[in-house]
């Protein structure tokens, strides 16, 4: 959680959309939120094309950051709840989205989501699970998505199928931790050495599908996240509980 709080202070929009050309405050907030709107439209269109029936009641945006996708979905769903491990990201989300009465934001770093079983009609998480360093924790959150989804609720998440060895080494993240432990300011590590603490992880499609089925949800469809990606690519998973 502390690393995401640090990124919320240093460069929150880049932490949400890590485009190298937009680092160090180069993102325009309007552009970030506009991209969120296009992503929401894309996901809902993919649900339709895959014959996934949606109830447009309550939505959960897991790993909401500054509320980019929570806001984007708020034009479609009755209520949208964003949750993030970083309370500083959540504070920014509340600020950026104060004009959206049907958006609310919660901070929690617990492996168990602070919601009752069957609370949400639609659970969404993209560009989030891949930054959780342990695979068991990723699977734990997917199990939580299934738990908090309503009967016939829809769950959509993205996750890399495989992370190359050179990405798994994560030298920049290791240097960040090592130099930070020596008392070197995080702002200097970020701006001068271009280091960051963001990990990258993935789980095979077969393992994800087996895990989901074992917990009583249906894998309704699987699509490539970005057709331009090479062997190191991600999938959208469309689940129905």
pLDDT tens for each residue of 75-126: 999 999 999 999 999 999 999 999 999 999 999 999 999 999 999 999 999 9
pTM of the model: 0.95
pLDDT tens for each residue of 132-168: 989 999 999 999 999 999 999 999 999 999 777 666 6
As a whole number of angstroms, the distance between CA 156 and CA 166 comes to 28
Please check whether the domain covering 2-163+200-240 is classified as CATH 3.30.70.1450.
no
Residue 231 predicted with pLDDT over 90: no
* Residue 217: predicted pLDDT: 96
* Residue 1: predicted pLDDT: 64
Contact predicate 116/37, CB 8 Å: no
* Residue 166: predicted pLDDT: 67
Query: Which residues does residue 160 pair with via DSSP β-bridges, in sequence order?
Result: 234
Contact predicate 71/105, CB 8 Å: no
N residues, the chain: 241
SS3 content of the chain, % helix, strand, coil (to 5): 45, 20, 35
Contact predicate 65/32, CB 8 Å: no
- Kindly report the backbone phi and psi dihedral angles of residue 97, in degrees, each rounded to the nearest multiple of 5, phi listed first: -115, 25
């Amino acid at each position: 959680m502390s690393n995401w709080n640090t990124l919320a202070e240093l460069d929150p929009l880049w932490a949400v959309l890590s485009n190298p050309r937009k680092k160090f405050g180069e993102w325009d907030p309007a552009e970030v939120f506009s991209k969120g709107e296009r992503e929401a439209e894309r996901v809902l269109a993919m649900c339709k094309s895959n014959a996934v029936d949606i109830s447009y009641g309550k939505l959960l945006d897991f790993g909401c950051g500054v509320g980019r996708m929570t806001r984007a979905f708020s034009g479609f769903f009755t209520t949208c709840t964003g949750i993030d491990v970083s309370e500083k990201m959540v504070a920014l989300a509340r600020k950026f989205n104060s004009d959206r009465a049907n958006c609310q934001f919660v901070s929690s770093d617990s492996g168990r989501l602070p919601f009752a079983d069957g609370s949400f009609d639609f659970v969404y998480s993209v560009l989030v699970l891949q930054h959780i360093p342990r695979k068991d924790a990723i699977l734990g959150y997917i199990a939580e998505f299934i738990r908090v989804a309503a009967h016939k609720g829809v769950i959509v998440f993205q996750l890399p199928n495989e992370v190359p060895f050179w990405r798994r080494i994560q030298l920049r993240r290791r240097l960040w931790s090592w130099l930070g432990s020596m008392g070197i300011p995080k702002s200097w590590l970020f701006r001068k050495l271009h280091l960051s603490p963001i990990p990258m992880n993935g789980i095979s499609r077969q393992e994800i599908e087996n895990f989901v089925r074992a917990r009583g949800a249906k894998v309704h469809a699987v699509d490539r996240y970005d057709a331009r990606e090479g062997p190191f690519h991600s999938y959208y998973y469309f689940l129905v509980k």
